[in-house]
Structure 1
Amino acid sequence: MRPHGLPESASHPVVTPLSPSVVYASETPDALDDQYEGRVHGYTYSREGHPNADVIARRLDDMEGASGGVVTGSGMAAVSAVLMGLLQTGEHVIGGDQLYGRSLRLMKEDLPRLGIATTLADPGDVEAIRAAIRPETKLILVEAVSNPTLAVADIDGIAALCREHGLLLVVDNTFTTPRGFKPFDHGADIVIHSVTKLLAGHSDVMLGYVVAKDAALNDRMRVFSVTTGMTPSPFDCWLAERGLLSFDLRFDRAEATAARLADHIAGLPGVKRVLYPTRHDHPDHGRAETLLKGRGCNMVSFELDGGRDAANAFTRAAEGLSFAPTLGDVGTTLSHPASSSHRALSPENRAELGLHEGFFRVSVGLEDPDTLCRIFEDAITAATS
């Protein structure tokens, strides 16, 4: 039965309609059986799926060259759908030691609590990954370009290792995005995104996405997501679809500005180091050239002399830039891992990762490049003089 008052139309909307309904009515119990048993497509209860989630999933599938992807309520929900939806007690997972802070916490604290063993290893060192493999190892999780140190994983080498040992390779492609890197072309089995970041791109969406080459894995992750309530908001899906319409343009502009900004601040007094994949002084520059084929993404990381005092002075002086634990906005944002994404780690653990008190991660936005370089120069001068 059609809802009362819904008008007929000989035309169709250009913009995808927002469908906030929590429940969907079926004509009969037999009709509902047909939906649940896959004979016809239809919606029942929005926790189990809704039109806006399907629209954004299909768009992301097309971008990654996949099908059957699952949209979740956040990027960490997508990570959890993999690690908790596919692993079970007694199994073992290897993670890159340069993962996002919450992914590290999940690996170090939550999975062991559930009886899933974890090991962290350098994703740029295939032999270190090999040494971590056990008979009960099931998958390896790495970020193509790590958050926040921009280390570049040896995806090709790890993929060969996974094939050798029958393991799943899971790649978090959030920083690089499908515009900069295609994990499935390099042997990945599962790809993760925090859609919240560059893909949606306006700091008003909280979404994640995960897709596997194997349809059976997608089904397992989808069931786990539905059962645990990882369902995304229709409104967030609708906003993310809008963001994707300008994604290519936004990514290319921000990437070009990021490369220029990295070169500019590298020459300023008081800057200890700058990390950007296309720079020749990046520790993984050779691998970045091979894997990313000259792409660098919109992220720049750097470290100031002067520790926390310099960090505080820098954010105060960075006029017009938001100091916030996020990335991928249309405006440039500053993040300080020691006080945000990696604050749960001990100072010693952060030091092992190179995340000192003067370390910043920059998500470059769409500002005029000349203006952005001037803002950074003035703020760095104020912080280190």
Structure 2
Amino acid sequence: MKNEKASVIRPDALPHSASRPVVTPLSPSVVYASDTPDMLDQQYEGGLQGYTYSREGHPNADVVAKRLDRMENAPFPGVMTGSGMGAVSAVLLGLTRSGDHVIGGNQLYGRSLRMTSEDLPRLGIATTLVDAGDIDAVRAALRPTTRMILVEVVSNPTLRLADIAGLVDLARESGVLLVVDNTFTTPMAFKALDAGADVVIHSVTKLLAGHSDVMLGYVAARDKALNDRLRVFAVTMGLSASPFDCWLAERGLLTLELRFERAQRTAALLADHLAGLPGVKRVLYPGRADHPDTLRAKALLKGRNCNMVSFELDGARHAANAFTRAAEGLSFAPTLGDVGTTLSHPASSSHRALSPEQRAALGISEGFFRVSVGLEDPDNLCAIFTEAVSAAVAP
């Protein structure tokens, strides 16, 4: 008699194996089958661990989140999102409502600035942007309706440091949430929740994944109710993370510590090298003694500075164009955290939506560059920058 099961398109589970894979399997399935409606009820109600629909969670997202949870000492499972801005959106839109007020650092990532200054007000959420390193300015911006303060540990792209200790005290005193974007520093240099932040955000796309082939975000809260709200909002709004991107990100995280240590050492060498080149007006690196926040950097980062270096050339757009053309082998691309060194020109990318006057107020000129230092040989990298700077300032 013919076996009826043989005619079913998807009759069986994976083949049984007494051994297990060393590498996490990729699980691209959108849906997961349960045996009975009762079993499905138990999964949704928390009595059974299981997956239902990948927008609500999948194995690869959980594997990556668990690694990041351990790195950030998150007390509850964090939420993976489809991008770093997905994580920012989950926080700003999932934890606020019309009538609330949000304080943001005035040197946030360009899209975060746009969301706080344009999108939130459109939805009835007032915003004020201030210097995150000036506690008096943040205190002065507080209102009875203030719901949260959003800052980056190290700002993008001017590498200024937020006064995290002062912000923690102010947030607790005022009863508002402190949200910290820890993308630049990563948990290798700074653990935001341990420092007293209520919520931590990461663009996993950057140094955490590290290969410019992943688009992911992560967010976790110290309070379970807040964490649950973030998860529900992310699921409802479709901010879900791709299984494949999560699978790639796990691979990247396995080498994070090695990549971080190598890149930050090279960044320190490059910063010192740039400071000695004719035609370079200024260099910004948290590990340098001439950084405007050097004491704060020592207290917060304890010598584990990030892999980012910013500097300003003499000259305007023509110098910037000459520099990128001459920087042979380096990618001029609006990203960071790759294994290869990348160059970013904020005036033409992340901060292009700002007026020249607004950029000038932040210290961003046409000659300003942000460098994400990769894993190249330090001597070779310095030689490339020497040639490129020379070309930029040549008459």
TM over 0.5: yes
- The residue correspondences of 1:109-148 to structure 2 (distance < 5 A) are 109-148=118-157
1:341 equivalent in structure 2:
350
Separation of aligned partners in 1, 2:78 and 2:98:
25
1:3 offset after TM fit, Å? Answer: 5.0
1:185 offset after TM fit, Å? Answer: 2.2
Cα deviation 1:332-377 (Å, max 9, x = unaligned): 0000001111111111111111111000000000000000000000
User: For 2:215, what is the secondary structure of its paired residue?
Assistant: coil
- Counterpart among 250, 253, 266 of residue 244 in structure 1: 253
Separation of aligned partners in 2, 1:41 and 1:342:
44
Separation of aligned partners in 2, 1:287 and 1:94:
21
Cα deviation 1:155-174 (Å, max 9, x = unaligned): 00010000101111100000
Separation of aligned partners in 1, 2:389 and 2:91:
40
Separation of aligned partners in 2, 1:98 and 1:356:
14
Say whether residues 1:208 and 2:217 are aligned partners.
Answer: yes
Separation of aligned partners in 2, 1:59 and 1:290:
26
User: For 1:191, what is the secondary structure of its paired residue?
Assistant: strand
User: For 1:147, what is the secondary structure of its paired residue?
Assistant: coil
More off after superposition, 293-302 vs 254-263: 293-302
Verify the 8 A CA contact 1:122 1:129 in the aligned structure 2: yes
Say whether residues 1:267 and 2:267 are aligned partners.
Answer: no
Separation of aligned partners in 1, 2:361 and 2:224:
39
1:40 equivalent in structure 2:
48
- Counterpart among 1, 5, 23 of residue 31 in structure 2: 23
Separation of aligned partners in 1, 2:249 and 2:14:
26
- The residue correspondences of 1:271-282 to structure 2 (distance < 5 A) are 271-282=280-291
One-letter code aligned to 1:56: V
Say whether residues 1:178 and 2:178 are aligned partners.
Answer: no
User: For 1:330, what is the secondary structure of its paired residue?
Assistant: coil
Separation of aligned partners in 2, 1:47 and 1:289:
41
Larger Rg: 2
Separation of aligned partners in 2, 1:185 and 1:45:
33
Cα deviation 1:306-349 (Å, max 9, x = unaligned): 11000000000000000000000000000000111111111111
User: For 2:165, what is the secondary structure of its paired residue?
Assistant: helix
- Counterpart among 328, 332, 338 of residue 329 in structure 1: 338
- The residue correspondences of 1:65-214 to structure 2 (distance < 5 A) are 65-66=73-74, 67-214=76-223
- Compared CA separation, residues 25 and 280, structure 1 to 2 (3 A): same
More off after superposition, 252-261 vs 213-222: 213-222
1:8 equivalent in structure 2:
16
One-letter code aligned to 2:391: A
- Counterpart among 64, 81, 91 of residue 72 in structure 2: 64
User: For 1:138, what is the secondary structure of its paired residue?
Assistant: strand
Point out 4+ residue stretches in structure 1 off by more than 2 angstroms.
1-6
Cα deviation 1:260-308 (Å, max 9, x = unaligned): 0000010101101000001111111111111111121100000001110
1:6 offset after TM fit, Å? Answer: 2.5
Verify the 8 A CA contact 2:73 2:194 in the aligned structure 1: no
Cα deviation 1:234-270 (Å, max 9, x = unaligned): 0000000000000000000000000000000101011
- Compared CA separation, residues 378 and 132, structure 1 to 2 (3 A): same
- Compared CA separation, residues 292 and 3, structure 1 to 2 (3 A): farther
TM-score by length of 2: 0.96
TM-score by length of 1: 0.99
1:5 offset after TM fit, Å? Answer: 6.6
Verify the 8 A CA contact 1:68 1:215 in the aligned structure 2: no
- Compared CA separation, residues 372 and 32, structure 1 to 2 (3 A): same
Separation of aligned partners in 1, 2:185 and 2:132:
16
Separation of aligned partners in 2, 1:3 and 1:139:
50
| RMSD (Å) for aligned C-alpha atoms | 1.0
Structure 1 unaligned segments of length 5 or more: list them: none
Verify the 8 A CA contact 2:334 2:343 in the aligned structure 1: yes
Separation of aligned partners in 2, 1:136 and 1:83:
15
Cα deviation 1:53-93 (Å, max 9, x = unaligned): 01100000000011310000000000010010000000001
Cα deviation 1:14-51 (Å, max 9, x = unaligned): 00000000011111111111111111111111111101
Separation of aligned partners in 2, 1:364 and 1:222:
33
User: For 2:219, what is the secondary structure of its paired residue?
Assistant: strand
User: For 2:261, what is the secondary structure of its paired residue?
Assistant: helix
